[in-house]
Amino acid sequence: MASVFLSGAVCLVLEIAGSRLIAPFYGSSIYTWSAMITVTLVALAIGYAWGGRLADRYPHLTQFARLLTAAGLTLAAIPWLRSPVLTASLPLGIRLGALASACVLIGPTLTLLGSLGPVAVRLTATGAADSGRRSGDTWAISTAGSVAGAMLTGFVLIPMFPISKILFAAAALLLALGALGSWLSSRALPLGELAACAACLCLVVRPTAVPNSNLVARESAYGRIAVFDTADHRYLLVNGTSQSVMEKKNGESQSQYVHALEWSRALRPKAARALVIGLGAGLLPKALERRGLVVDSIEIDPAIEETARKNFGFKPRGRVLIGDGRALLRLHPETWDLIFLDAFGSESPPTHLFTLEAFAQVRERLTPDGVFAVNLISITSGPNDRPWKSVFRTLSASFPHVRVFIGGDSNSELANILFFASAGSLDAQTPPASDRVSKDIALMISRELSPSPAALDEVPILSDDFAPLDAMVAATSSRWRRLLQQAMPEVLLN
């Protein structure tokens, strides 16, 4: 039963770590997670059915050992297959590509692991009298192993080790169990299984190769963080999505929308304190502090803060609070003159920060005349423009004054949509075009969006009870992901 427990643990190690295999290439949107869950359930179901038939035809420990060995070998092959499989799946598009790559990479191993349960029941049951109890014990022990594997992977392994080393270690465990089963059944030394196990352990302990000298990558509890240099720019990527772009010559943001968000300072010239929810590379807080503000930041991932300080020159005068945006707003009952929401989980916004209740909480933390500025990536027009309209309608239900603009040049109809909301007036003169920031603010103001009441009636007000923002931004995420795949495929595969 120890093998059942450990194989159950490996199932969840593979499912959680497997999402990190394809997320840098296909993102962590609803498509990726749907693909992973679908493949996991289908593979395990096939394994259960197949294992039951194997148990009836060949109910011996040798069969159980062979399945463990096969699962270990297919698991060990995954890191080697990742790059060619993802490259080959690219023509299928985001949805089918994520599904196909997950099927090829993790499907065989999960099928083999699923087949172990029925064989274990047949080996441990002595007859019809105890078959029900043995079956229940087997699935309970396997589930307990899955719980342990999920906790170990999420809380310990992924934040500390590369995904390839986690998979090689899990493969070595399965191969060692297979070798033990072979020895118990035949009393012959299983040289092949032991050699394969030793090879996997060597891959675990060998130094990690650096495939690209311009790329620094690490795993955190929330995603794969990568810093990538070109001749003039430095990029921060999370799960393969570009979160920030810095100009290396001056350490400032290259993004038009970051410049345009500084309009908030023009709206409230007397503002002294600001809060940024979603740190990224720290470029927005840096820009605001250059304008004389003291800026606090909220960031859920401590590894992001460390990356911003180490790689992007982030040295704030204000505080950096680590945790969830809504939770920390509840815990810190103070007010700010300006609050900025610029948070993304890979290419998808964190839905719980965009609801009516979340916006009401933000309003409580603003000074009476404060401004709330929000950045959202969205398709700007057509049938897939519902995300920005729904956010506009939700903000309008929370604040008496709301304005919305296209905050930068669009690419394939994708653009940063910037919202400004306040209890006070949002009228300000267009700044003189004397520097780059002023030019980008003037460009934004010239691109104001004015959704009609009829168009707003077609989209929901987002609430904690009903916030289908993930589904609405799926087309946006898909288009954004395709652009990234075309622009930097070698970075996403490293």
For 395, the token pair is 């903000």
Lowest mean pLDDT among 177-191, 275-289, 350-364: 177-191
The answer, yes or no, to whether residue 411 has pLDDT greater than 80, is no
Closest by Cα among 245, 234, 261, 235 to 440: 261
Q: Are the C-beta atoms of residues 166 and 155 closer than 8 Å to each other?
A: no
**What digits encode the pLDDT tens for the residues 325-348?**
999 999 988 999 999 999 987 677
Residue 213's pLDDT band (cuts 50, 70, 90) = low
Average of per-residue pLDDT across 26-36 = 80
Residue 170's pLDDT band (cuts 50, 70, 90) = very high
The span from the CA of 291 to the CA of 163, in Å, is 41
The span from the CA of 216 to the CA of 229, in Å, is 9
Return the SS3 of 139. helix
The share of the chain scoring above pLDDT 90, in percent, equals: 59
The span from the CA of 470 to the CA of 31, in Å, is 10
> Distances in Å between the alpha carbon of 354 and those of 325, 358, 366, 374, 393?
11, 6, 16, 9, 11
Please give the mean pLDDT across all residues of the chain: 89
Q: Are the C-beta atoms of residues 341 and 362 closer than 8 Å to each other?
A: yes
Q: Are the C-beta atoms of residues 196 and 203 closer than 8 Å to each other?
A: no
The answer, yes or no, to whether residue 374 has pLDDT greater than 70, is yes
For 178, the token pair is 């297979």
**What digits encode the pLDDT tens for the residues 82-114?**
999 998 988 888 889 889 999 999 999 999 999
The span from the CA of 481 to the CA of 26, in Å, is 6
**What digits encode the pLDDT tens for the residues 252-304?**
998 999 999 999 988 999 999 999 999 999 999 999 999 899 999 999 999 99
Give the per-residue pLDDT at 128: 66
> Distances in Å between the alpha carbon of 179 and those of 47, 51, 126?
21, 20, 25
Q: Domains, the chain, ranges and CATH?
A: 2-205 (1.20.1250), 220-493 (3.40.50.150)
